[in-house]
Amino acid sequence: MALGFAAVVAFQVFVTADEVQPVGTQGSFTVVELESATKDDAIGVIDETAKSLGVNIFKVQPDSYGLPQERTLFAFVGDREGFEANGGYDYPSFSSRAMVTHVAPAGDITFQDLRGRYVTSAPAAQVEQVVTRLEQGGVLATSTSLGPGVVVLHGAAEGNLFGPSVVLMLALGLAVAYSVSRRRKVYALRALHGYRRVASVRAEVWSCTVLFGVGLAVLTVVGVPFLWAHNGFNQLSGFLPVLAVTVLGLYLFTVVVVLVAVRAASRGSIPTILKGERASVREGVLAATAQVTVLAIVMATTSAAMTRIESVAATMDEYSRWSEGDPLYALRLSVSGTREDDVRDAPGLSAVIAELEQAGQVLMAHPGDAFSGDPDAEVGPEGARSMIVNHAYVEREPIEDPDGRPVRDLPTGEDHFSLLVPMSYDGDVEPLLQQYVSFFSGFACTDDTEGGRASCDPVGSVVRTKAGQDLFTYNGTAPLPAQMQPPMFVHDPVLVVVSADSGLISPLLYLSYTSGNDVLFTDPDVLDSRLQEHGIRGSFQGIDDASDAVSDSVAFSRRQLRMDAFSLALGWAVLALAAVVMVAVYCDRRRRPMFVQLIHGYTFAGRHWPYLAGAAALSLLGVGIAGAAGGSLAHGRDVAAAAAFVTIQVVISLVAISIYEARFRADVIKRN
């Protein structure tokens, strides 16, 4: 059974390792910024780097709009032979249920964000050379390579497998120690006949080796058909070393336990051992310690896993908003542009935005500069609970008035804006309105671009909205980890709805909002053609899917959910195994007293209440230790999980005792 668990752990570790480091790759790096003039230039730099260094580079592109676990590897091929040897454009998936991988040529890159994670066939030592070449071409990157051993450990860590693995080893150690303890008379007789202790050790190690050999044979008989049906032996040469190391580690641990157990079992007076002395106190202490430790570890890992699952599920709920409706695209500005370039190009961009806004193809959502998502934060033009949006945002988001009706058909026109104030706002609305009038007239509508306005006369109308609404901010588009992204929802914000034809947002301010991914577009082809018509297409790097960074976070979140679910299942299974082992120890030590009590009319509860009470007490102790050490009882769900664990321990004990007692009863009757 331990070998089966080891194989499952090795399989899951390799699945995660394959996701982190795809087949045929050894290193990785992250592109954090593009300084090249255009996106095509950046693609050319990456392609030239791959060819000049003779390595393959893959852009890892998660797909949040496709299957739940799906990615595309865009290949920059510099080592054609190595590329074909590892499947070429037909990726040899190890587990398509965990991750579906497509390989596509780099020429297929269109609106994908070039920033993000890349993997390469270059070894870790050469990745720095790759990064240096990229930076020379204006593609800024940082190395994130991990060694092969670290990748495997990373897979175990992401799968939260350390806790269940420790529990498995404790249960295995208890079973081995008790099995050796039952052979104390054999060791005593060998010592009485002049055999040295090393002979007993050698015999037990050989017995252990034979048992492992039988287990491996069974594992082979079961595993080979499974792998054939699951993946057609894809990446078998990579999986076998991971499995071998896992099994070898389990074998060495078992041998060490055997050595310690034989040494401990051989102690004591030979005559006393031959008379039947069984070291009951030591066995009982060992079993009790194992039970407390097992439950403490499983409780702690379960609490941590449930916390992560809740957090990841909440994150995925937020990110799922990006997959609702049509995809949105961001316009990337060239970082090589100057102030003079911005002043020259801003009017053209503003005109493009105005044209596309009339067609409903532009969405604007600009949170205040101090935006935090805090429901108690200040409101105002740059407040932490305010946003400047356009009419497309209002059409896309479910904003309701105090009567629960959708807010629609807001007035437009030159110098006009609408101020949407939630009913939860308890301040005076008129001063707030005047703040925005001053903001537009004194800053937002004026600039020094050609044809820019010198002044404006803003006119605002107030619309009250229903209290208690959480509105999407369209944040999360930066290439940052999920925990570093700004809040994606804001509670009861003040919204300023303004259209491009109002003239209240200057061309330079539109350029600033666009550079911060606050202005998004629905049709990249139309956007591209409009930029060309206005003669400013060359001033922008490219057009990217705004949700690419979100896709990375979604892919990671999905992997975490799968890993945590697996960790929970494995932890509970090993806990059940440990409970069965401890019941076996108890029943074997008390087989004769149990039979005597049975024939004297003791009830089941009367025979076993001390053990059941002790098991429940030890379970509570383990839960208490987990709670004291890591706060694992801080939530109601943790208390419910603890109650479930104690109940499971007692139920397993009842069932296992009934089975073992029936078997031992038959053995005693046969012997007598």
- pLDDT for the residue numbered 154: 65
pLDDT exceeds cutoff 80 at 76? yes
Residue 473 located in a structural domain: yes
- At residue 348, the 3 state secondary structure works out as helix
Closest CA to 20 of 99, 87, 129: 99
DSSP assignment letter at 502: G
Q: pLDDT digit string (tens) for 131-188?
A: 999 999 999 999 987 766 666 666 666 666 676 777 777 777 777 777 777 666 666 6
Domain boundary among 99, 119, 145: 145
- pLDDT for the residue numbered 65: 46
pLDDT bin (cut points 50, 70, 90) of residue 588 is: confident
**Contact in structure between 467 and 422 (CB atoms under 8 Å):** yes
Query: Where is pLDDT greater, at 437 or 167?
Result: 437
**Contact in structure between 61 and 110 (CB atoms under 8 Å):** no
Residue 344 located in a structural domain: yes
- Report the range out of 519-533, 589-603, 614-628 with the highest average pLDDT: 519-533
pLDDT exceeds cutoff 80 at 115? yes
Contacts of 90 (CB under 8 A, 6+ apart): 103
Dist. CA 616–CA 624, nearest whole Å: 12
Residues 364-371: what's their mean pLDDT? 75
pLDDT exceeds cutoff 80 at 501? yes
Q: pLDDT digit string (tens) for 94-107?
A: 887 777 889 999 99
- Strands 470-472 and 489-491, by their bridges, are antiparallel
- pLDDT for the residue numbered 571: 67
Query: Where is pLDDT greater, at 359 or 287?
Result: 359
Residue 634 located in a structural domain: no
Residue 83 located in a structural domain: yes
- The separation between CA 121 and the C-alpha centre of its own chain, rounded to angstroms, equals 25
Residue 202 located in a structural domain: no
- pLDDT for the residue numbered 458: 93
**Contact in structure between 631 and 306 (CB atoms under 8 Å):** no
Residues of the chain above pLDDT 70, percent: 79
Closest CA to 332 of 509, 545, 65, 506: 545
pTM for this predicted structure: 0.67
Residue 349 located in a structural domain: yes
Q: What angle do CA 474, 62, 39 make, to 5 degrees?
A: 75
Query: Where is pLDDT greater, at 20 or 483?
Result: 20
- At residue 463, the 3 state secondary structure works out as strand
Dist. CA 445–CA 458, nearest whole Å: 9
Q: What angle do CA 175, 5, 213 make, to 5 degrees?
A: 70
Residue 130 located in a structural domain: yes
Domain boundary among 546, 567, 583: 546
Neighbour-count burial of 87, counting CB atoms closer than 10 A to its CB (0-12 exposed, 13-18 middle, 19+ buried): middle
Residues 528-544: what's their mean pLDDT? 87
Maximum CA pair distance of the chain? 110
Say which range, 69-78, 91-100, 562-571, has the weakest mean pLDDT: 562-571
- pLDDT for the residue numbered 416: 94
pLDDT bin (cut points 50, 70, 90) of residue 625 is: confident
Residues 410-439: what's their mean pLDDT? 91
Dist. CA 384–CA 377, nearest whole Å: 6
Dist. CA 608–CA 148, nearest whole Å: 51
Q: pLDDT digit string (tens) for 23-71?
A: 999 999 999 888 887 888 899 999 999 999 999 999 998 764 444 467 8
Query: Where is pLDDT greater, at 361 or 315?
Result: 361
Q: pLDDT digit string (tens) for 183-233?
A: 666 666 666 666 676 777 788 888 888 988 998 999 999 999 999 988 888
Domain boundary among 76, 111, 145: 145
Query: Where is pLDDT greater, at 648 or 468?
Result: 468
**Contact in structure between 569 and 26 (CB atoms under 8 Å):** no
What mean pLDDT, rounded, does the chain reach? 81
Residues 113-127: what's their mean pLDDT? 89
Residue 461 located in a structural domain: yes
- pLDDT for the residue numbered 173: 78
- pLDDT for the residue numbered 121: 94
Instruction: Find the domain containing 37 and state its range.
Output: 22-145
Q: How many independent structural domains does the chain possess?
A: 2
Neighbour-count burial of 511, counting CB atoms closer than 10 A to its CB (0-12 exposed, 13-18 middle, 19+ buried): buried
Closest CA to 632 of 160, 304, 167, 161: 304
**Contact in structure between 68 and 74 (CB atoms under 8 Å):** no
Query: Where is pLDDT greater, at 443 or 379?
Result: 443
Buried b or exposed e, range 473-490, using 16+ CB within 10 angstroms: bbbbbebeebeebebbeb
- Report the range out of 198-202, 218-222, 266-270, 588-592 with the highest average pLDDT: 218-222
